[in-house]
Amino acid sequence: MVTVDDIISAICQLPDELYQQHTSELELRLMADVIAPFLMELLNCSLSTATVTEVVKSALITPLLKKPHLDSADP
């Protein structure tokens, strides 16, 4: 099972690039204390029932080029 401390620890380990794009590191850490109990409940419920909501199943995927000389605009 996931604990509140696990979630706060995971949020604090997010890469710095994420902080710069969306919010400051301090704001995210302050929010972590507030949202961690709700995320814990959601994750533990999902784990115990072996189900995942449709919203969590979707993702935005950005492929990365392995060869830097290729044109990223050319699929």
Mean pLDDT of 36-58: 89
Q: Is the pLDDT of residue 45 over 90?
A: yes
Mean pLDDT of 40-48: 93
In a domain, 58, yes or no: no
In a domain, 67, yes or no: no
CA distance 13 to 18: 11
Q: Is the pLDDT of residue 19 over 60?
A: no
Contacts of 31 (CB under 8 A, 6+ apart): 23
Gap between the terminal Cα atoms of the chain: 42
Domain assignment of residue 9, given as a range: 4-51
Q: How many domains does the chain have?
A: 1
Q: For residue 18, give both structure tokens.
A: 């994420």
